[in-house]
Every structure is written in C-alpha cells, then in structure tokens.
Amino acid sequence: MKNANIPRKELVADRQTLMRTFIRPENIAASTTLVKYMEQILFGLHDFLNTHVGITEEVSLKELSERYKDTIICENPEKKLADVITDLVEEIAPHAVNVASPYFIGHMTSAIPFFMVHLKTIVAALNQNVVKLETSKVLSVIEKQVLAKIHRIIYKQNEDFYIEHVQNTHTSLGCFTENGTLANLTALWVARNSTLGPKEGFEGIDKEGIYAAYKAYGIERSVILVSELGHFSLKKAGGVLGIGNRNIISIGLDRACRIDIKSLKEKIDEIQKSPTRTKIIAIVGIAGTTETGTVDPLRQIGEICAENGIHFHVDAAWGGPVLLSEKYKRLLAGIELADSVTIDGHKQFYMPMSSGMVYFKDPCRMDAIIYHANYVNRLGSVDLGIKSLSGSREANSLILYSALKIMGSRGYALLIEHGIETAKSFAEEINNRSGFELVTPPELNILTYRICPAEIKRELSTSPDAQRKILNERLNEINITVQRLQREAGKSFVSRTTLKTYKGRCESIVVLRCVIMNPLTDINILRDILDEQEELYRQNF
C-alpha cells in the first residue's frame, strides 16, 4: 500500500477516500506510510537546511512570484499527499529562508531545538482550543501552571501567593498570545482601561469609549511614553486602541541607547503642566530593544511610575528569558516593578513560530478586559478566553511546559549565556579590525556595527557636522551595498537598520545588525562573516 488516502490513477474527490483522511489508519502498512511522511518532513527538510544557507538569489523574488500566480482552486485534488509533501520538501523549502543556519544572524528568528517540532506536532494532533475548558480541559490547567512559573521568575512573589493563584479560576497571572505585538497590545489595553476605568457616573472606557472617557476624566489626550527604540508594535497599539499613534511619545536616548531618564522626567513634567489636559496611560521600559538589544534602566523607570501612579509596562519580548540565567539576570533588575511584562516564546524560549506571553503583577488586573458569551465561556470558570485579546487559541503553552522540563532553567541559561558571551567576543573582534566600527556594543546578545575604513574613521573624528554628514552618507551607501551583496551571495546574513542618534548626536547611521542566539554560531563563524564583508568592500569600492 503506497498511499492511504487518494486513489492512484485519477484524482477525484470522493466521500469515502475523504472519510479515510479523518481516521488514523488501523493497518500497519498505512501507518508506516504516515510515519514515512514524517521522516521525509524531518530529514528531507534537513537536507535543505544543510545545503542552503541564507537568502539566496538563485531564483529571484520576481521569478518566484511568477510561479505562484494561479488563483483558481481546482475542483478535484491536484496532488496526492505524498506528492504534496515531496513538493514541499523539494520545491518550496529550498526557497524558504534557512533561519536555522548559524550564519543567519540577522534576525530574531533562529534555529530551534529539534524536539520543538515534535512538541508542536503534539499540539496539532491534540487540536485543543484553550478559549474554553470544554475544548481543552487539562491544557487550560497547564497554561495556568506555565504562566505561574514564568510569573514567578519575573515577580518572585512568595509560595503562598502562587499556591493561591496558580489554579485560581478568578484570577490571572497573564495570558499566552500569538506574538509580542499582541502581548504589548493586551498590556496597553489593560493599562488604558485601568487608567480610565469606571467611576461615578461613568462605566469605564471599554464600555463607553474614549470620547466619553476623556469627558468623564476632563482630559483631551492620553499618551504612552517609550524610548526612541520602542518596538513599532507600540505605535500600532496606540493606533488600534484609539489613543492615536502620535501619542506614543518617543523619549531620547542616553549614550548607551537606553531611555534618557532626565528627558523622561522632563517630559512627564511638561505633560503634567500642559494646557492640553493629558493623561499618561503607561510608560514602557524595554528589556532588549529590537535594534540594539539594550535594556532600559528598569528600576528607575519603575520608581518614576510608582511616584506618579502610572502603569509601568516592560517590553521584554526579547530579553525576558535572561531571567533564567543566574549570571546575567541582574541585567533586568527592576523588572519586578512592572505592572505588566511582555515575553516572546518564539524568541529566546526557542519555541516554534509563533508564541508570545503577557504577565501582570496584580492577578486581578486583567479583569479590566473581561469579555464573555454564554455559548463559549462563563465567568468564574477556567475558560481562558474570558480575559484574552484572541478568541480561539492553540495550546502552545504545552510546548513551553515540556521544554522547561527537557531543558531545565539551566539549559535555557546556557543558551542565553552563550549568546551574551559570543556577542562580547564578536564586539572585540570588530574593535580589533581597523575597517569596522562598533556602533552599539552588546548588552545582551545583539550588537550593531558598520564597515568604516580607517581613513574615513579618522576624518569623522575631526570633521565638523556638515562634513560628518557627507561621510556618513558615504558609509551608509557602503554598508547598504555590502549587506545586500552578502545576503545575495547566500552564505550568511546580517540585517541592517538605521539609527537616528549616535554618540549623543542626531545622525542617520546605517548599521549592520547581528543577533547571536543560535548556539552553533561561534566566533569562527562570525570571523568568516567579517572576512566576507571585508572582501565585498574591497571588490566593490
């Protein structure tokens, strides 16, 4: 028996073959076929991963687009499952991006331990929906446990606290989301609703809307403050939540790319004295900025928020798991002051794409976003969909639950430490090469630098602003070109971004950005990448 579900010769959709695809086969031959497919998936893809690195341009995007232009859905099956899988492995995977390569250090998407694929398969096979207990049962209970475990490493409340809340159906320590963007949105939604909550004669912003809320509170504007390096999801949240994205106010940076505390205090002062009566809904601290990996002075921001009665949100989408490293968790000191914290699962928890989480210090804070419906979930039940931006959700918490058992906190710590320490060595290497300039040294495991030939470096250090601008433009051009050529060559990949301030100056600086999270990325690989960049510069400039 070669194929379990569709007749060999002619492909016709018929009921019987269709029904069979819903029953896991009882006979050994058919079972073997199904397992064979899995083998093909696990190791067929593996071959791709071994032979293709980076984002090659063997087939241009334009050519690729031409292949996927047909928009008619065929009436009958086009292909048998086996052929579809073969196509996926042979035709599609080679044109995906090998994010698992240790030479792919441009983005926060990386290799994941292979067992993560197994865990995701289990989640898919169980096909539970944690929106309600009736379609998830133990998986909802497990989600609550995992949330409490991570809450505990952030907030370090005592055992009694966790015994009370871990399985409490009336309180919530947080929520799994699909990504950091939705986690940030959830946190700021909660912050908005708490700041402009119900009071005498007003039933709360979520019920009555922003216009009524501003009237009730006698304000004309509400704002959220975050450093210039805030993730763009925060601006998006400002738009979605009706605050207006221009009211997500950027605060300048200190020389270490952290929020400048003096500027922050001045801005708060300015807002409080403003003739436009304005409410500050939240201040966001970043634990691992997307561009530079830097961590804001969380304790100081937390204290400022406490003094002023402002919701303190920490976007630790990137840096959160650093808390698992005894050696480096001090880098996130002060995070326990946060009212809410975002952490991504698919980043430094190495879960498969995509998973985010949001945590709240106060187990009742999520009451500000309760929604329920008779047919789906009931108040006071374990139905997780009551306090969640999303409706139907897969049971992704099972993956983290299992991964924590398989890895231990120490396993995660080893990955984190490897990243931070390798990034440090990489920074030294960059500093040792005369043709490069380290722009933002790594605080966690992200750094930026640029190609900067020694002669230009010398000129930059002595030139007036106008001349610096011309030199920087020249450097920007060089870095844009080399980054592109390296990507197209397909052996390795670093990303690029543009920083707006550098060493306290307002300058538009194109930098190469590296994220060191793959444990197989070592200093030798990083040297290869620099060598290649030097070579590309020599050949092209």
Q: Based on CB atoms, which residue is closest to its own copies, 1 or 454? A: 1
Q: Based on CB atoms, which residue is closest to its own copies, 282 or 304? A: 282
- Which position among 69, 330, 503, 538 is part of the footprint of its own copies (CB under 8 A)? 69
Extract the tokens encoding 205: 């912003």
Residues 132-161 touching its own copies, rule: CB under 8 A, are 132-139, 141-142, 144-145, 148-149, 151-153
Residues 485/434, Cβ–Cβ less than 8 Å: no
* Sequence letter at residue 514: C
- Which position among 256, 263, 519, 527 is part of the footprint of its own copies (CB under 8 A)? 519
Among the residue ranges 201-209, 256-264, 435-443, 460-468, the one whose residues contact its own copies (CB under 8 A): 201-209
Residue 346 Cβ, how far from its own copies at the closest point, in Å?
6
What does the alpha-carbon distance between residue 518 and residue 113 come to, in Å, rounded to a whole number? 10
Dihedral angle, C-alpha 467, 471, 474, 476, nearest 10 °: -120
Residues 39-58 touching its own copies, rule: CB under 8 A, are 39, 41-43, 45-46, 49, 55
- Interaction between residue 1 and its own copies (CB under 8 A): no
**CA-wise closest residue to 381 among 141, 114, 99:** 141
Which of 70-79's residues contact partners 24+ apart within 8 Å by CB, and which partners? 75/13, 76/11, 76/12, 76/13, 77/6, 77/11, 77/12, 77/13, 78/11, 79/11
Residues 425-484 touching its own copies, rule: CB under 8 A, are none
Among the residue ranges 72-80, 264-272, 420-428, 525-533, the one whose residues contact its own copies (CB under 8 A): 72-80
Residue 298 Cβ, how far from its own copies at the closest point, in Å?
21
Residues 320-359 touching its own copies, rule: CB under 8 A, are 324, 344, 346, 352-354, 356
Binding mask 220-249 for its own copies (x = CB under 8 A): xxx--------xxx-xx-xxxxxxxxxx--
Q: List, in sequence order, every residue forming a beta bridge with 359; answer none if it has no partner.
A: 174, 341
- Interaction between residue 397 and its own copies (CB under 8 A): no
- Interaction between residue 485 and its own copies (CB under 8 A): no
Distance of alpha carbon 261 from the chain centroid: 26
Residue 103 Cβ, how far from its own copies at the closest point, in Å?
14
- Interaction between residue 523 and its own copies (CB under 8 A): no
- Which position among 18, 306, 333, 364 is part of the footprint of its own copies (CB under 8 A)? 18
Laid out side by side, the sheet with 278-286 consists of: 174-177, 356-360, 340-344, 311-315, 278-286, 221-227, 248-251
What does the alpha-carbon distance between residue 481 and residue 526 come to, in Å, rounded to a whole number? 19
In what helix (H) or strand (E) does residue 197 lie, and over which residues does it extend? none
Extract the tokens encoding 47: 């071959």
Q: Based on CB atoms, which residue is closest to its own copies, 272 or 392? A: 392
Extract the tokens encoding 414: 């080893």
- Interaction between residue 506 and its own copies (CB under 8 A): no
Q: Based on CB atoms, which residue is closest to its own copies, 207 or 458? A: 207
